[in-house]
Structure formats: structure tokens, C-alpha cells
Structure 1
Amino acid sequence: MTTTRTLREKAGEEPITMLTAYDAPTAAVVDGAGVDVILVGDSMGNAVLGYDSTLPVTLEEVRSRTGAVARATEDALVVADMPFLSFGVDEAESVENAGRMLKEADADAVKLESGPHTVELTRRLVDIGIPVMAHLGLTPQHVNQLGGYQRQGTDRGAAEELIELAREHEEAGAFSLVLEHVPANLARQVTEALSIPTIGIGAGRHTDGQVLVITDVLGLDDWSPPFSKQFGNVREEMERAVSAYKKEVEAGEFPAEEHSHVEDDVENVY
């Protein structure tokens, strides 16, 4: 069973695997495959809820889906992503919202899209027993401020700031750090600077682990980010199955005799 402690012990020793999941059946498959960490990401907004970004995702949507994932998971570490405006506005409210993910949804930890404003919050959460996964680089909740989903840390000043923020969050008690859409050589330097594990997405191969969005991995969408990879084509199989169902119903082939039950006692009731 993966814990925050065993995850930290893997840093530099064994590659860490992490995937998102948003429902119980998917979580069971991911957990059964032996993936170390399941992230119930606010990426659910784009991936499964039909939103154009992560910003509309609510605390209750994450809480509900985290509970579903946790109930289907036996070994993986379950991390709940704190959605936009659920943290960083008021400390007491931020702590309560994060605590609900552990207390009500059975998450093992929370993830914060991080910046200077989350250093002390990370420290506070860790102090009261809420493990924190930090997240630097491209932080999708800041898409309006960033002007899109461009690669981050591409000049010396931005790179130095990112490394310093990574160190500050480690010092504050974060047990790991997600690095999203940053240059591979910067991700390597951040990994070398920290003792906690780094988990990359669009950050090259020199991090301690990798994370992807499950819909990209499964090939559920027509498009995926350039730093991702489709390892299957589940969309094509779904289309085949749905078309086959429609065809058999319209042709009167489904349900067949083996899909029906006849009870003699209710014969000739009408």
C-alpha cells in the first residue's frame, strides 16, 4: 500500500506512477494495475464534466468523486485536487475544505496549485495532519492570468523563482511536487534540488515520476496535449459497442431469449 512516506522513499530509487481517475470503475482499473498514486484532479472539468476549463469545478464535485475513487481503491495513494477558490482566500476556510477531503471523502492527501500564497497554507495543513502535494509550473487555475496554457519557467528569472518556490514548499512540509509543462532541464534541476519526489507532466523524463490525465492515456478524446500520449483507443471501442447495441435493438436481435426470463405464474394475467 502506498503512503506519503513510502512515496518519499521512492524518490531517486524507483519511478513513481500517477494517473487521474474520477469514478470507481476507472479507479479500480488504475489501482489494479499497480499505479502508485491516483489523483482526483480538477482536470475532471475538461475531461468528464464538459467544462472548457478547470475553473468551474466545485468543491462538492471533487469531494463526491474522491469518495467514489477512494471506495474502489485498495493500494494506491488517493490525492484530492483542491479546486479554484476552495483554498487561498481565507486560511480557516482553506483548512476546513482540505480537511473535508480526508474526513468525508477518505482521501489520503490533497494537492494545491501552488505559489507564494500557498507556502504558509501548506505549513498549516501539514501541521494539523493534512498531507500536501504541491504543484508548480503551469497551474491551470491561473489560465486567465497566464493567458493560456503555455510552457512555464522558460527564462532564467522564472526558472530561479520556480526552484525557490519548490524549496519553500518542501521546507513547509509538502511530501511531493508536481511539475507541469516546464522545460525538461529545469525539471531536472528542481528534482536535484529537492529531497521530496517530483512528478512531471510535460516536464521530461528527469523527474522522480510521471502523471497523465486518464482520458488522454485511454484515448477517449480526439485530441490530447503534445506532451501526453494515447496508450489505447477506448473511444473507438466505445463507438463500436454503442453502434452494435443500437443495431441489434433496431433489428430485434436484443434482447434474445438468454437475456429474458419467463414466469409461469404470471401467464395470462391480462
Structure 2
Amino acid sequence: MNAIGNFIKENEYLICIDSDGSVIDTMTEKHKKAFGPEAVKVWQLEEIEEDFLKKWNKVNLYSHSRGINRFQGLVKTFNDLRAEGYGLPGLDQIEKWTVESSELSNPALSRAIKNTENNQQLKLALNWSRQVNQEISKLEKDSTKVFAGVKKILAEISAEADLAVVSSANQEALLDEWASYDLKQHVKVILGQEAGSKADNIRDLKAEGYDQNKTLMIGDAPGDLRAAQKNNVLFYPIMPCEEAESWQKFAEEAAAKFFSGDYQGKYEENLIKKFNFILK
């Protein structure tokens, strides 16, 4: 369930689906209750807490960098604030790792720490990430967090397409959430940050024998769109703040267009145009 090596193609169509913010309404909660507050604690930013959290939420939730990997989001938030004149600790070592590493996850960061002499920055980042995971595990699991219509549409499309969760979230949390919300039964594989980038995971899944016009990525962030475009596959946006409506539209018309071959072209282009406008 958590490795592409165990994936077996059964249908002609492949649909890759992001999790946080796309299927389950947990993205905002995780950032506001775990990611941002834990960064304030680890880097002792209490004096600028309000400004830091405002910038954190802007970078990770309310801009074109929405859905960015947690470590990249950390670096961008610090860099943006530093550019505005805030005296923040340097994250050059962490930034270097985010650029050079092929995998941005806790295990990959642990390996980098072992292979780096001056690794204090990396240790702080790992400590922060682990504390974030702990806080996320404490968040209440409420079935109402699954966006309206999702469970029904997943059950319906899983009869025609192989479904795969492709997310940058922590693998353990993903497995727990998809099981807790009774969604796991509809997907063939769940891939989190430990499995690699979204683009790489789509590439590897597509390589199982799917045509690019019969492969779709569903997501709520520009990174999901880029991952789809990098692999020349189709993209369906879950519009931020219009999630239930997006799933209703998918159920009523977009899914049928995808399966009939009428999705690519003007229809997809108009959806992406609206998506990009929302996140300008």
C-alpha cells in the first residue's frame, strides 16, 4: 500500500490524488496548529510570532507556493521575512539540502545529518519536523473533514481507474488518515514524502503502462499542477475554498469527460486558468 513496487495495473486509466487540502480538510489545521507554531518554538521566534505565523500561512496556504514541501516552505518563509528586514537565523545549510537532496523527508534529513560535520541547522530542522508530526498525530480525526462527495466519487471512479494517493505529507500520517476516514479501500497505493517527489511518483506510476491522456492528477496546489505537467498528464484542480464544489463538478461532468477522452484541451485549460487566478 505504501510502495510503488507493490502496485499492479488493473485498469486502463490512472488517477493520482493529493490528500491534504484536496480530499481531507486538514491542510489549514496542520499549518495553523502544528507547522507554524512549532517553528516559532524551535527557532525561538516568540517576539515576532504574529508576523512569522502570518507569513508562514501566506507561503504555505494562501499563495502560489501553497502545498510546498515542509522544508522548502520553512526556507521560503525565513527568506521572505529576512528580505523584509527581520533578523532571523540563517538556514543556508537547510536550503542547500533542499536543493541538493532527491528526497525531502525526515529519513533523508537524518542521513544528511550523519554525513555532515557542521549539522546544527539540519538537526534543528529535523527536531522541528518530528515535533510537527507529533502535533499532527494529536489532531482530532473527524469524518466531517473529508470534503463532501469525496467518498462517493472515489468509490465510483475506482471501478474504472486505478487510484493512487500522491502526496508530500508524512507517510505515517497519510496511512493513518486514509484508514481512519474509511478511504483507504478505494486506492491501490498511498505515497507520501518518503516515496519521493510527486512528479517522480507520477512518472513511476505512469510507467506501469498508462497513456498520458488517460492519466490524471487531482490536487489543490500549484505543485500538483507542475508535477502533472512535468509528466505530460492531465490535471484537475480542487479550488481552494471551493473544495466541495470542485468535487461536485468532478462527479457531475469532469470525470465523464476524462473517461470519454474529452477532458484535454479547452475544458482543462479553463479549469487551470481559474485555478491560477485564485492563487495569484
**Structure with the greater alpha carbon radius of gyration:** 1
TM-score, scaled relative to structure 2 = 0.27
More strand by share: 1
Ranked by relative contact order (alpha carbons within 8 Å, sequence separation 6 or more), the top structure is: 2
TM-score, scaled relative to structure 1 = 0.28
